[in-house]
Each structure stands twice: as structure tokens, then as C-alpha cells.
Amino acid sequence: MILLSEASTKDIKTIQEIVNISWPHTYGKILSESQITFMLDLLYSDEMLHRNLNNGHHFLLANEGDAFVGFASYEHQYQNKNQTRLHKLYVLPQAQKKGVGQLLIETIENKAKANNDLSLSLNVNRFNLSYLFYQKKGFQIVGEEDLAIGNGYFMEDYKMEKLL
């Protein structure tokens, strides 16, 4: 059985452990090793995760048995709109296709509805096939975005939304 719990700053190491396993699996054929390292340092440093957790980002940890197998982060009222933003969703390779991602999205969707938000939004790398997963969950591609993140690297994303 998969259980979800709210994460706090005491769970930063767990979040980092999940991304250090899931990112090379997810992005290893899409991004260079140096870009993966750069982005992990940028997005998942202790400082950045503390900042996220203390500035409106909510993190959910997924637990199966005695192991953490994934997490998601989201933010209500994203950019002062009636929208919840799904910032991150990662599931360990061995836990994929077991409903973990679906449970995380459904839980965030219910929280968004309870918060009176009208839609969910996210960005996903255009070369990451998980955009197909999001489409199956009702998200639509509404645009593309190339974001410069430093060191000459870009995040080449689809912008996706789901009306609630």
C-alpha cells in the first residue's frame, strides 16, 4: 500500500536521495551528465529545498512499506492565479507503474480543488516521455518554453495545464 505524508525540512535528505536515483534514470538519455549534475546542485541543494519548503511549496512523500519511493511538490495560487503548480514529481524506477505518480497527482488535484484553484499547471522536458503520462491524466500541452538556467544550459519544456 502506498501512503502519502507531508514533507518538512527534516525530509530534505530523503528528497535528495530520491532525485539522485530518479534523475539519472529519467534524464540520462536526454541531458548530459554535467547538465544533470548542474541542475541537481541548482534545484535540490539543501538551501534551495529549505527555501522552497519555507516559501509556499508543499512536498508530499510517497511511502511503500518501509521505503520512500517518490515525491511531488506543488504550490497553490501560483503567480497569484487560481492555479496550483505541480513543480516536481519523481518516482523511483522500481516503483514506477504501481500507481505512485497517479496517487500523487490525484492528491494534489484534490488539494487544488479544496483551495478553489481552477487548474493545475506544470512544465515537463519535451524529450521526457512522462509528458504522455500527464496527457493520460488530463493535462494538455498549452505551449513550449526554453528557460536559460545558467552555464549555457536550458530547460526545454512543454507547458501543460489541466482544468479542474
Please provide the average confidence, as pLDDT, over all residues in the chain.
97
pLDDT single digits (tens) 144-164: 999 999 999 999 999 999 999
Q: What is the pTM of this model?
A: 0.95
For the structural domain made of 2-115, what CATH number should be given?
Answer: 3.40.630.30
Domain extent listing, the chain? 2-115
Which helix (H) or strand (E) element contains residue 115?
Answer: none
Q: How far is CA 87 from CA 66, 76, 120, in A?
A: 26, 11, 10
